[in-house]
Amino acid sequence: MPKVIAPRDPKEWSLFTAGHTACAGCGQSLGARLVLNAAGPRTILVNATGCLEVFTTRFPSSAWRVPWLHSLFENASAVGSGVEAALKALGKADDVNVIVQGGDGGTADIGFGSLSGMFERGHNILYVCYDNEAYMNTGIQRSGLTPFAASTTTSPVGSEVLGNTTGKKDLPAIAVAHGVPYVATTTVAYPKDLEKKVKKALSIKGPKYIQILVPCPLGWGHDTALTIRLARLAVQSGIFPVIEVENGKLTSVMRIARKVPVDEYLKPQARFRHLFTPAGREELARVQALADANIERFGLLGARAG
């Protein structure tokens, strides 16, 4: 059995323990800790292949203090569906939370068909997407959630193209289109908001979807001390709207008291450094336009964020 590393004093224990091997400043490890502690001990986790799986379960240790299953990249939602069906058969469906979790690649791309099936069948499962905006575990390749103009190893900056040429896939809207009763976005910069949404999602029957922006110092090319600041700037610039949609209706947004230009969010990240050259001015303006469109679409201006 894997050995769980935990503090000597049980009062200090988290359900997601210290001793994992995530990079310094990893937003995903913080996100997972917040999600699991909000969900509580009566939880079963299904984890798609990816960074989170790798850095938390290096034999003989495990960072998880609840039942945890590793699936393939493409079938985490199907495995979670089986877990939920088994709990129903055992008469325990109301006693245990089932959470399926994956990165942006395992959610928006490789595992999307499985996720869509889980949504359509109406399983009582919370799906959490830890969105670090690329395939970080396998070499920082572009995913369906990589933002416009970001440089990755498969969308590099060249003489003809300056980074990723496509926009970020709107997965929350796709989940809403499936009739999912609860859809939300959040970031690790606002832990209370994150925890509140996890608890709310788990109180609702049926499939739920939460997308959490989790900065990655390695893939984004930022200082490890800036993880929380960047997650906050993503919200305050409008580039990552924090919202809730219940039964198809937008019910809440995290409003912005003072809009910051996207420059403040982009400059600390090496993946966007090409935008701050003469050749990148047009693309930088397009990124600002995307943020402005989000602000207009969701009515984000008005009150203090977080």
Write the CATH number for 242. Answer: 3.40.50.970
**Residue 35: inside a domain, yes or no?**
yes
| 154 pLDDT higher than 60 | yes
Between 14 and 306, where is the model more confident? 14
**pLDDT given for residue 59 in this prediction:** 86
Cα(148)–Cα(251) distance, rounded to whole angstroms?
27
Give strand ranges (E) for the chain.
3-4, 43-47, 61-62, 68-70, 97-103, 126-131, 182-187, 208-213, 243-246, 249-253
Across 43-60, average pLDDT: 94
Q: Counting Cβ atoms within 10 Å, is residue 89 exposed (0-12), middle (13-18) or buried (19+)?
A: exposed
Q: What is the mean pLDDT of residues 98-119?
A: 97
Residue 170 falls inside a structural domain: yes
Residue 135 lies in a domain: yes
pLDDT tens digits, 284-301: 999 999 999 999 999 999
Tell me what the mean pLDDT of segment 243-261 comes to: 97
The parent domain of residue 11 ranges over: 3-298
Is residue 211 over pLDDT 90? Answer: yes
Q: Tell me the mean pLDDT in the region 16-32.
A: 94
End-to-end CA distance of the chain: 41
3 pLDDT exceeds 60? no
pLDDT value of residue 304 = 54
Within-domain flag for 303? no
> What DSSP designation does 162 have?
B
- What's the pLDDT score for residue 60? 87
pLDDT in tens, 221-230: 999 999 999 9
Whether residue 162 lies inside any domain: the answer is: yes
Domain count across the chain: 1
| Contact criterion met (CB below 8 Å) for 210 and 126 | yes
Give the list of residues 6+ apart from residue 53 with CB closer than 8 angstroms, or none. 47, 70
306 part of a folded domain? no
d(CA 238, CA 260): 8
Mean pLDDT, the chain, as a whole number? 94
Task: Answer whether residue 304 is part of any domain.
Answer: no
> 305 falls in which pLDDT band (50, 70, 90)?
very low
- Residue 304, burial from CB neighbour count under 10 angstroms (0-12, 13-18, 19+): exposed
What's the confidence (pLDDT) of residue 8? 54
pLDDT band at 157 (very low <50, low <70, confident <90, very high): very high
Q: For residue range 167-189, what is the model confidence (pLDDT) as tens digits?
A: 999 999 999 999 999 999 999 99
Average pLDDT over residues 71-75: 94
pLDDT over 60 at 12, yes or no: no
Question: Dihedral of the CA atoms 166, 29, 173, 243 (nearest 10)?
Answer: -120
Write down the pTM of the prediction: 0.94
Residue 216 lies in a domain: yes
| pLDDT of 306 over the 90 cut | no
Q: Is the pLDDT of residue 190 over 80?
A: yes
**CA 105-192-177 angle, 5° bins:** 45
Degrees (nearest 5) of the Cα angle 120, 134, 110? 35
